[in-house]
Amino acid sequence: MLKLGTTMARSFRIALVQMSVTADKPANLQRASKLVKEAAAGGASVVSLPECFNSPYGTGYFPEYAEQIPGPSTDVLKKAAAENNIFLVGGSIPEEDNGKLYNTCVVFNTTGEMIAKHRKMHLFDIDVPGKITFKESETLCPGDNFTAFDTPFCKIGIGICYDIRFAEMAQLYSKQGCKLLLYPGAFNMTTGPAHWELLTRARALDNQLYVATVSPARDEKAKYVAWGHSTAVSPWGEVIATCEHEETIVYVDIDLDLVDQIRGQIPLTVQRRHDRYEVKDKTQS
């Protein structure tokens, strides 16, 4: 869509699918398909599902719900991407590979080809006394690679949830030429109100690009209660689209000219003191 000769389209619509996730995996997959179709009908060229869209979020659930890639869940995503002619960022699923488990996001292009696979690099291990203790590393292993993919619009970088706390990762994506970063995530009722929007704005402002976060809808009865509030922030650091915690689809129009305008007005990229400091991708050395 919208690729005019060698000219890249300068604007496009994305959809953040804040879906309700239950303990019933086949029902989750069906729901995801339906909502992706709705998002495409709403004009989105890039659609993202939330973290752990096929399983409840929790270390006890990961081994039970994990599957290989390709597998039943990614087959559903592949079909949904091709049928709706969209780029589909498959939130994340618990992945099993060679006896190890990962929290993994796969991306399909408009013909249903898998073009990217990101394993959460930074595991969510925290201890906030009296509030929340969580240790993803009890059952998961971290991924080792950065993940960005090309579209006819712009390059898009992927992180999963806790990855958003690591400013260096976003900086590297920006350095690679990404103009949009997508973070499927599931913050909680402690860190959500405190940090979700702030981190989304911080990564956008630091790097002068668009950032969007995609949460599952809140289920008050779940063991882990998600914050919701799927949000998009402009390269100026402004929240341009958001929602509360119920199931919904958030649509966002991305204007790539705005990225260039803001970078022209406040030219951080050329003002960086590369002679004095550096953020480096060590996976390439």
Ligand X SMILES: NC(=O)CC(=O)C(=O)O
Question: Interface residues with ligand X (CB under 6 A)?
Answer: 124, 161-162, 165, 186-188, 191, 195
Q: How many CB atoms lie within 10 A of CB 138?
A: 11
Catalytic member of 25, 51, 136, 197: 51
DSSP H/E element including 74: helix 72-84
78 or 229, CB closer to ligand X?
Answer: 229
Q: How many CB atoms lie within 10 A of CB 264?
A: 11
Catalytic member of 25, 78, 117, 120: 120
13 or 195, CB closer to ligand X?
Answer: 195
- Catalytic residue flag (residue 120): yes
Which amino acid type is present at position 189? M
- Catalytic residue flag (residue 247): no
Measured distance CA(205)–CA(55) in Å, rounded: 32
User: What is the three-class DSSP state of 171?
Assistant: helix
Catalytic member of 52, 105, 154, 161: 161
Residue 158 C-beta: closest distance to ligand X, Å: 14
- Here the tokens at position 241 are 């689209």
Instruction: Please write down the long-range contacts of 106-109, taking CB distance under 8 Å and 24 or more positions apart.
Output: 106/69, 106/74, 106/77, 107/147, 107/149, 107/158, 108/77, 108/78, 108/80, 108/81, 108/82, 109/81, 109/151
127 or 275, CB closer to ligand X?
Answer: 127
Q: How distant, in Å, are the alpha carbons of 21, 78, 223, 252 from that of 104?
A: 16, 15, 21, 24
Q: Is the peptide bond preceding residue 50 cis, with omega within 30 degrees of 0?
A: no
What is the DSSP secondary structure assignment for residue 193, as one 8-state letter?
A: I
CA-based nearest residue to 12, from 259, 261, 258, 253: 253
Query: Which class for 184: exposed (0-12), middle (13-18), buried (19 or more C-beta within 10 A)?
Result: buried
87 or 224, CB closer to ligand X?
Answer: 224
36 or 226, CB closer to ligand X?
Answer: 226
- Catalytic residue flag (residue 51): yes
187 or 210, CB closer to ligand X?
Answer: 187
Q: Where are the alpha helices (DSSP H) in 163-242?
A: 167-175, 191, 197-207
Catalytic residue numbers? 51, 120, 161
